[in-house]
Amino acid sequence: MSNATPYKVYLTESELPKQWYNLRADMKNKPAPLLNPATGKPATFAELSRVFCDELARQELDDSTKFIDIPQEVLDFYKMYRPSPLVHAEFLERALGTPAKIYYKFEGNNTSGSHKLNSAIAQVYYAKQQGLKRVTTETGAGQWGTAVAMACAFFKLQCHVFMVKVSYEQKPFRREVMRTYGATVTPSPSTTTEAGRRILAEFPGTSGSLGCAISEAVEEAVNTSDCRYVLGSVLSQVLLHQSVIGLETQLALQKLGVKPDIIIGCAGGGSNLGGLIAPFAGEKLRGEADYQLLAVEPASCPSLTRGVYAYDYCDTGKICPLQKMYTLGSGFIPSPNHAGGLRYHGMSAVLSQLYHDRVMDAVSVTQSEVFEAAELFARTEGTLPAPESSHAICQAIKEALKCKKNGEAKTIVFGLTGTGYFDLAAYQKYNDNEMTDYIPTDAELAASFQNLPNF
Amino acid sequence: MSNATPYKVYLTESELPKQWYNLRADMKNKPAPLLNPATGKPATFAELSRVFCDELARQELDDSTKFIDIPQEVLDFYKMYRPSPLVHAEFLERALGTPAKIYYKFEGNNTSGSHKLNSAIAQVYYAKQQGLKRVTTETGAGQWGTAVAMACAFFKLQCHVFMVKVSYEQKPFRREVMRTYGATVTPSPSTTTEAGRRILAEFPGTSGSLGCAISEAVEEAVNTSDCRYVLGSVLSQVLLHQSVIGLETQLALQKLGVKPDIIIGCAGGGSNLGGLIAPFAGEKLRGEADYQLLAVEPASCPSLTRGVYAYDYCDTGKICPLQKMYTLGSGFIPSPNHAGGLRYHGMSAVLSQLYHDRVMDAVSVTQSEVFEAAELFARTEGTLPAPESSHAICQAIKEALKCKKNGEAKTIVFGLTGTGYFDLAAYQKYNDNEMTDYIPTDAELAASFQNLPNF
């Protein structure tokens, strides 16, 4: 197959973004402010900076500065694995026999195995700048914890990761990557925190959840000097850092002379999707261009498509600020049968607002169809995708097949957030035809919504 | 840190090599011919083509054609993961405080996790061209089997992998990657072949070896119509395909205006090292330039540094052609404590001849120092390296520290063949201070040499 356009576009180092793009500056309807759970009032800088580094607290509150300089030390680190390639999926197109053009932005070419490193290195840099010695965080599937461990190794900070117990036990190799980078890894819930002890007392056999691990990590951070907490998704600061994905994608597409019709990303807390679509959503909000922006979430944890838009707790222990978001309720725990990440009960405030304002659409897909798409992608495009990323692949394939049916040559861009090297237990289930789907019933969701706070 | 030279060099797609380079054409002392074990005479095309595809048998015998066109379908596949980057390891340099310049060619950015894909796709392509339906192969650490499975998925051929039993059991995830790409994976020794049954009868509790798995895969191939055998290292055809590594490295260095002093690669069967150094060894043989070419092997399996240069069996079952090479004897099985690949008893005939002629040097390193180097590399340069690749890292660090001691600003280039995502059981041992070294005694080696054939 010969092709006029290149298969892959790498920007040059001089073309790499030097600033992050803050989409909130272009939103007329700003995301609702975080609330202090004790007072019900908007969280202040003083309150946030007990949990987060000062600069990150400022970024969290800043909904007006459009571009924020990426520190030189972070740019230096980005050089190690960025630019990530924008790939023309011509082998997948050929396998589907579609007139659609499919491109994907591949963020998996680094040891954390995902885009998470883009924000981890920024957050750890600011911690170091502030003179801190240590950060805490939580991890579920493990990408975020690995990314923070790598960033801490680079800047020589200590790193304590609370790893959701079921992942800690099922993914010992993820744990070993983090240890290789010098991190301490504790299964959550643990007995080292008040939040952990409370949850263990109430649910002695629990296999843990992200919301619980967040409570533990935050509690340790606020009770330890020289320490702050870092979070890999949901927060607006994270979407800001992840805008580097979208900015690179935008420039690479411009260099190719390609205008996308549909931009697709998987959505758990929203870090990848929010970063990928940021500059395109900005153009859309400013009336300069139109794109279909599409969030893909698991049918087993459908916060956008079946959640409610309300203030909710971000963590099980209810010690973090409240956020207005599409949520399934902070007590919602998706089926353990669901592989990979995308298990969080809520969605980024920025993306929630965009969805509420119909700037962005959302769909959900089942686990079986996700792995079917993953296998086809692996066999045609070579790369073994992460289950998370495969949600986007699945939807991209559906859109491409719609184009085939309708004879439309749309241009589809999706985010391939990471690789599936640590998800082979899930692949094994799929290979052995033992994979099951789980979709929560309306009654289950209604019960979960009962726990929403009154704000 | 700002730097005049870029951190990474990616060639453009138009700069990618269109031909492989056959180093044998520039060797005055050609590698000795393969011998038929039954007749003791040089293996003929007719004999080799029972085992290998016709075109590969021709390439194996061809020691005079300097450049061989890479088929367009193989170039198309190469586009998916090539060019691989040449990286200036400035973070490692800084950590070492060395005046040396260190560059590495990174071949791990593909799902097989290593350079093995370069030859797998070529071999499977020729099988398809010949109208075959199926290939067999063996795999130890798993990179080669994964690469063949990926190539077979791409060209829609059936793939049967005999996986060394100890790896099959210890690396279930490697097995699942291969299955995801559609391969059938059988632990070796198995009862499906005469060679396997013979070995099981003699050593009932054996955990297998590469030499045994080769015998099984070859036996099945020669006894099955529409099927041939493919091998990931040792053979001259494999080094030919792997020359793409060296050709890209050479061009990238030229673009940087950098002339290397030392070129370092890990060596098991020689596939990566032979490919990396090919064009540089060619310049050296033609008297156009001088380089120190350095093979690094494990102290636990030291075929170059402690082996003998003699004709030996390539497989345990003694059904393959004999090869003149540096060997530890075909019955040599390295300690199971040794992690990763680089466990083969012999070395590529091409590299053996270069070493014998002192065009190339060799050193060995112990497992503990290899993992120490791997950890430093991961923490400074980001990427978690494969244990195999870490042998090269270890020696590169030693050379850079020599430069520091002597105040020399040498330029060191090494091959980073792959990533360590499937080697975390070994990293765990290292993290837990449970890693042990094993070095065979002279008596053990002398006993193994007793089994060399008389040719």
Model pLDDT for residues B134-168, shown as the tens digit of each residue: 999 999 889 999 999 999 999 999 999 999 998 89
Tokens 């055809």 -> residue:
B237
- Residues of chain A neighbouring B378 (CB-CB closer than 8 A): 111, 153, 180-181
Which helix (DSSP H) or strand (DSSP E) does residue B374 occupy? helix B367-381
Would residue A28 count as lying in a domain? Answer: no
CB nearest to B13's CB, from A7, A419, A425: A7
Cα–Cα distance for residue pair A145/A273, rounded to 1 Å:
19
Size of interface A-B (CB pairs under 8 A): 122
Would residue B27 count as lying in a domain? Answer: no
Pair A356, A305 in one domain? yes
Q: Is A191 on the interface with B (CB under 8 A)?
A: no
Tokens 């007793």 -> residue:
B450
Chain B contact probe: residue of A91, A171, A173, A376 with most B CBs at under 10 A: A173
Pair B252, B391 in one domain? yes
CB nearest to A13's CB, from B6, B13, B375: B6
Strands A361-365 and A322-327: unpaired
- Residues of chain A neighbouring B8 (CB-CB closer than 8 A): 13, 79
Which helix (DSSP H) or strand (DSSP E) does residue A387 occupy? helix A387-406
Would residue A245 count as lying in a domain? Answer: yes
Strands B361-365 and B292-298: parallel
Pair A245, A210 in one domain? no
Task: Kindly report the nearest CA distance between residue B115 and chain A, in angstroms.
Answer: 14
B 339-378 near A (Cβ less than 8 A): 375, 378
Would residue A435 count as lying in a domain? Answer: yes
B407-445 burial code (b ≥16 CB/10 A, e <16): eeebbbbbbbbbbbbbbbebbbbbbeeebebeebeeeeb
Strands B158-164 and B134-139: parallel
| Partners of A136 in beta bridges | A160, A229
Pair A147, A134 in one domain? yes
Q: Is A13 on the interface with B (CB under 8 A)?
A: yes
Pair B436, B352 in one domain? yes
Structure tokens at B132: 């075959």
Cα–Cα distance for residue pair B328/A130, rounded to 1 Å:
57
Closest CA to B16 of B72, B64, B63, B79: B79
Nearest residue of A to residue B377 by CA position?
A181
Q: Is B159 on the interface with A (CB under 8 A)?
A: no
Closest CA to B376 of A156, A146, A181: A181
Pair A144, A91 in one domain? no
| Partners of B365 in beta bridges | B298
Phi-psi domain of B195 (left: phi exceeds 0; alpha: psi -120 through 50; beta: other): alpha
B362-401 burial code (b ≥16 CB/10 A, e <16): bbbbbbebbbbbbbbbbbbbbbbbbbbbbbbbbbbbbbbe
Task: Kindly report the nearest CA distance between residue A131 and chain B, in angstroms.
Answer: 20
Query: Are A72 and B2 a contacting pair at CB < 8 A?
Result: yes
Would residue B158 count as lying in a domain? Answer: yes
Query: Are B378 and A180 a contacting pair at CB < 8 A?
Result: yes
pLDDT of residue A111: 93
Q: Is B446 on the interface with A (CB under 8 A)?
A: no
- Residues of chain B neighbouring A6 (CB-CB closer than 8 A): 12-13
Nearest residue of A to residue B86 by CA position?
A80
Q: Is the ipTM of this complex over 0.90?
A: yes
Pair B291, B346 in one domain? yes
- Range of B136's domain? 38-65+116-229
Q: Is A181 on the interface with B (CB under 8 A)?
A: yes
Cα–Cα distance for residue pair A186/A241, rounded to 1 Å:
27
pLDDT of residue B447: 96
Cα–Cα distance for residue pair A383/B445, rounded to 1 Å:
42
Amino acid at B90: E
Pair A283, A427 in one domain? yes
Which residues make Cβ contacts (< 8 Å) with residue B265, sequence separation at least 6? B272, B273, B276, B277, B294, B295, B296, B392, B414, B415, B417
For chain B, the first-to-last Cα distance in angstroms comes to: 59
Chain A contact probe: residue of B84, B93, B143, B421 with most A CBs at under 10 A: B421
Per-block average pLDDT, block size 10, for chain B (455 residues)? Answer: 69 94 98 94 96 98 98 96 95 98 96 96 98 96 95 98 92 94 97 95 89 94 96 96 98 96 97 98 98 97 97 89 96 79 92 98 97 98 96 98 98 97 93 93 96 89
Closest CA to A125 of A157, A149, A158: A157
Q: Is A72 on the interface with B (CB under 8 A)?
A: yes
Cα–Cα distance for residue pair A426/A389, rounded to 1 Å:
14
- Which CATH number do you get for residue A48? 3.40.50.1100
- Residues of chain A neighbouring B91 (CB-CB closer than 8 A): 80, 154
B126-141 burial code (b ≥16 CB/10 A, e <16): bbbeeebebbbbbbbb
Pair A193, A314 in one domain? no
Would residue B455 count as lying in a domain? Answer: no
Last residue of a domain, one of A229, A260, A287: A229
Structure tokens at B312: 């030996």
CB nearest to A427's CB, from B180, B422, B425: B180
DSSP-derived secondary structure for B87-120: EE-HHHHHHHT-SSEEEEEE---STT-BTTHHHH
Which residues make Cβ contacts (< 8 Å) with residue B221, sequence separation at least 6? B51, B135, B136, B227, B228, B229
- Exposed (0-12), middle (13-18) or buried (19+): which is A13, by Cβ within 10 Å? middle
Q: Is B180 on the interface with A (CB under 8 A)?
A: yes
- Exposed (0-12), middle (13-18) or buried (19+): which is A436, by Cβ within 10 Å? exposed
Q: Is A5 on the interface with B (CB under 8 A)?
A: no
Strands (E), B169-307: 184-188, 227-229, 262-266, 292-298
Pair A277, A393 in one domain? yes
Last residue of a domain, one of B179, B206, B229: B229
Last residue of a domain, one of B182, B201, B229: B229
Q: Is B154 on the interface with A (CB under 8 A)?
A: yes
Closest CA to A23 of A273, A228, A340: A273
CB nearest to A382's CB, from B10, B150, B382: B150
pLDDT of residue B1: 41
Pair B277, B245 in one domain? yes
Cβ contact A245:A283 at 8 Å: no
Rg of chain B (C-alpha set) = 20
Pair A422, A296 in one domain? yes
Closest CA to B234 of B127, B313, B153, B149: B313
Q: Is A4 on the interface with B (CB under 8 A)?
A: no
Would residue A139 count as lying in a domain? Answer: yes
Q: Is B8 on the interface with A (CB under 8 A)?
A: yes
Which residues make Cβ contacts (< 8 Å) with residue A161, sequence separation at least 6? A136, A137, A138, A139, A145, A148, A149, A178, A183, A184, A185, A186, A217
**pTM of the entire predicted model:** 0.96
Q: Is A435 on the interface with B (CB under 8 A)?
A: no
| Partners of A160 in beta bridges | A136, A184
For B159, list phi and psi in degrees, rounded to 5. -140, 125
Torsion of CA A199, A200, A202, A205, to 10 degrees: 120
Per-residue pLDDT of chain A (455 residues; tens, 9 = 90+): 444 578 888 898 899 999 999 999 999 999 999 999 999 999 999 999 999 999 999 999 999 999 999 999 999 999 999 999 999 999 999 999 999 999 999 999 999 999 999 999 999 999 999 999 999 999 988 999 999 999 999 999 999 999 999 889 888 899 999 999 999 999 999 999 999 999 999 999 888 888 889 999 999 999 999 999 999 999 999 999 999 999 999 999 999 999 999 999 999 999 999 999 999 999 999 999 999 999 999 999 999 999 999 999 998 888 889 999 999 999 888 787 777 788 899 999 999 999 999 999 999 999 999 999 999 999 999 999 999 999 999 999 999 999 999 999 999 999 999 999 999 999 999 999 999 999 999 999 999 999 899 88
Chain A contact probe: residue of B10, B81, B104, B176 with most A CBs at under 10 A: B176
B 223-282 near A (Cβ less than 8 A): none
Which residues make Cβ contacts (< 8 Å) with residue B14, sequence separation at least 6? none
Would residue B31 count as lying in a domain? Answer: no
CB nearest to B382's CB, from A111, A182, A384: A111
Q: Is B15 on the interface with A (CB under 8 A)?
A: no
Query: Are B422 and A421 a contacting pair at CB < 8 A?
Result: yes
Number of domains comprising chain A: 2
Q: Is A289 on the interface with B (CB under 8 A)?
A: no
CB nearest to B379's CB, from A79, A176, A182: A182
CB nearest to B177's CB, from A72, A172, A424: A424
- Residues of chain B neighbouring A419 (CB-CB closer than 8 A): 111
- Where do the H-state alpha helices sit in A40-116? 45-51, 54-61, 72-81, 90-96
